Amino acid sequence: MSQVPQIKIPATYIRGGTSKGVFFRRQDLPESAQVAGAARDNILMRVIGSPDPYGKQTDGMGGATSSTSKTVILDKSSQPDHDVDYLFGQVAIDRAFVDWSGNCGNLTAAVGAFAISGGLVDAGRIPQNGVCVVRIWQANIKKTIIAHVPITNGEVQETGDFELDGVTFPAAEVQVEFMDPADGAGAMFPTGNLVDDLDVPGVGTFKATMINAGIPTIFLNAEEIGYNGTELQEAINGDSVALERFETIRAYGAVRMGLIKDISEAVARQHTPKVAFCAPAQNYVSSSGKQVTTDDIDVAVRALSMGKLHHAMMGTAAVAIGTAAAIPGTLVNMAAGGGERNAVTFGHPSGTLKVGAEAAQVDGEWTATKAIMSRSARVLMEGWVRIPGDSF
């Protein structure tokens, strides 16, 4: 039996928002993985523990959910007036695949802190006490994100009293601004409409708002697809028929949005687009037992990520929710009561989240200038990850 020694790679395991991921500095990766390609993908999959036919990722750092099967690579920015380049890889759990097609808004909350601690932000820009403004270039989607990271005694402050639904313990607040969050490569509403009739053969025809803001997202009316908008994970993730139905809707929506040319391509693009459904505000009990009332929220939203209902809300989907809510006539806006607004508080399975967004019409087309939300981040472990030397 041949024996291959393990190699070790400097890495940090961080919670950002309601997600967790393994963070690397590009310079610390093996040379073959410092550029895009099979070597990089293979290393990241082995670190996370994929592909795992058991769906558990026991032999890796992943946690067997879309929220915990994530990797981040940071480097000093190649862009003017930016501090750090942020590359996000969503690792599939049971298949050999890393999806580079979108951003992770939750882990964005940890990017600034890791960049500061990892020496990727010029020391002259870091105050002894106060807030360090980290200018992030999101390399997947080619967008600017601004993170406001608290600093105490010259170091990143991680502890605090900011509470985030979906995260058990309080931490320091990190405000994140997503600048010009709409897809720069095309219209924010790729079909040209605020609401479309989305025809899904074998499933039905549904009203849909398809938007590129934060992350490409397909919004549906909860009632139209047989839900009330207050569902928790077990109501959907244990229903294989429902999950297959959502995936079919996602595939046909991706074609309508111009993200793929044929529904067969959707299997290789699991991270985007997202599918979400919304409903008017109503009372419900969150997954932690917290009572959420109509006084707490403007609208109820549930979203799927990597084929499963998310336990809270993806940060990028929150940007899409906030942007859609700010535009009169979208399904999210109408579910929230209609009219103009620059902020919305929505209910998700773990509780509530407020997101601000600014949108305006320019030459007859809607555009978003900014979306803002508060998250938190905390280093869980740092040192090295080990993988067999023949993994790549």
Would strands 365-375 and 351-362 be described as parallel, antiparallel, or unpaired? antiparallel
Write down the catalytic residue from 313, 314, 334, 373: 314
Report the distance separating Cα 363 and Cα 47, nearest Å. 47
Q: DSSP of 11-63, one letter per residue?
A: EEEEEETTEEEEEEEGGGS-GGGSSSSHHHHHHHHHHHT-S-TTSS-TTSS--
What type of residue sits at position 237? Answer: N
Instruction: Answer whether 9's CB lies under 8 Å from 30's CB.
Output: yes
Rounded (to 5) percent helix, strand, coil in the chain: 20, 40, 40
| Residue 314 bears catalytic tag | yes
Write down the catalytic residue from 104, 210, 306, 373: 104
Instruction: Answer whether 112's CB lies under 8 Å from 149's CB.
Output: yes
Which one, of 180, 256, 215, lies nearest residue 107 by Cα?
Answer: 215
Q: DSSP state, 237?
A: H
Instruction: Answer whether 142's CB lies under 8 Å from 166's CB.
Output: no
List active site positions.
104, 314
